[in-house]
Amino acid sequence: MQVPILTYHGVNIAGNDYDGNDHVAFAADLELIHQLGLRIVPVQWVIDRLLGRSERDLNGCVALTCDDGSNFDYYDLDHPVHGLQQGFFSALLDFRRRHGRDAQPDLHLTAFVIADPAARARMDTACLVGRNWMQQEWWRPAQASGLIGIENHSWDHNHPCLDSPGPHDLARGDFFAVANEAQAEFEIEQAQRYIAAQISPQVPRLFCYPFGHVNSFLKDDWLPRRGEQVGLDAAFGDGAVPASLHSERWNVPRYICGWHWKTPDALREILAATLG
C-alpha cells in the first residue's frame, strides 16, 4: 500500500490562482487525479488497511483531507477581497455532475474540524475576516452527504490567538506544548465528545495534529494508551510521504497543499513518484 494523502485548508485564500488558493487547487487536483486514472478513496480505508481490518486493494489510490473546519469547507462564500469562492463540498458535487458517480464511486473528503465554538469565534475575528465563518451547523449535513466525513482537529487548536496560559497551564501557540495528561484530555478527548454529540450517531475516529506538531508524549504515550479508549483509530501529521503498511499509526503522513506542492505539475510529480 502506497497512498498519498493530500491536505487542503479552506482558509488559504490569498488570490484566485492555483498557488495561493486551496479552492482553486482542490478543484484542479480532482481533475488531475481523475485524468491520471487514480482512485479517490476515504482516508478511513487507508487506516483500516494499516490496522489489518481490511484487505481492500488500495493500489493506485489517493485520499483527500482538509483542516480547521471553516465554512469554506462546505459553502460557497463571497470573500471580501477575492470574491466568490467555491467550497470544497461544492467542488465535489461539480466533479460528480461532470463525470458521473461511476467515475469516482468512492469520492470522499475528510474534514478535520476544531471543536470549541468560543475558540472558533475568536479565530474568525482574529485570523479570518470576522464574518462568522467558523461555524458547525454544516457538520451534520456534510457527514450525511456521504462525500465529507467530520473528524477531530482538537478542542481549540491551541491557537496563538487564544488567551495564554490556557487551561492546565497550557502555553498557547503550538501543539508541541500539549505534553501532559490533563492537557491531552482537554485538547483531544474533550473534542472527541463534543464532535460526537454534533454528528451522532456517527463518531469521530481520526485525529489530526494542529500545525502538524507531533510530540513524543502524544505519539508514543498518550495516544497509544488512550486513543482507542476515546474512540480514535489513528492520528495524522504531515511528513510528505505516502501512507503505507509501515506508517506509524499515531503519525500517519500527509502532503500539504501550498507547502509540499504549489503547482499541478508538482502534484503530478508526487503522484507519479508514489504510484508509478
Q: Which domains does the chain have, with CATH numbers?
A: 2-275 (3.20.20.370)
Q: What is the pLDDT of residue 166?
A: 87
Q: What is the DSSP code string of the chain?
A: -EE-EEEEETT-BSSSSSTTBHHHHHHHHHHHHHHTTPEE--HHHHHHHHTTS-----TTEEEEEEEE--GGGTS-EEETTTEEE--HHHHHHHHHHHH-GGGSTT--EEEEE---HHHHHHHHHHHS-SS----STTHHHHHHHSSEEEEE--SSTT-TTS-SSBGGGB-TT-GGG--SHHHHIIIIIHHHHHHHHHHTTS---EEE-GGG---HIIIIIIHHHHTGGGT--EEEEEESS-EETTS-TTSEEEEEBTTTB-SHHHHHHHHHHHH-
**Ranges under pLDDT 70 in the chain:** 276
Q: Cα–Cα distance between 69 and 165 in angstroms, integer? A: 24
Q: Is the pTM of this model over 0.95?
A: yes
Q: What is the pLDDT of residue 182?
A: 97
**CA-based end-to-end distance of the chain:** 13
Tell me how many degrees the CA angle 222-216-221 measures, rounded to the nearest 5: 25
Q: In degrees rounded to 5, what are phi and psi of residue 35? A: -60, -35
Q: Are 24 and 18 in contact (CB under 8 A)?
A: yes
CA 167 and chain centroid, separation: 25
Q: What is the pLDDT of residue 127?
A: 86
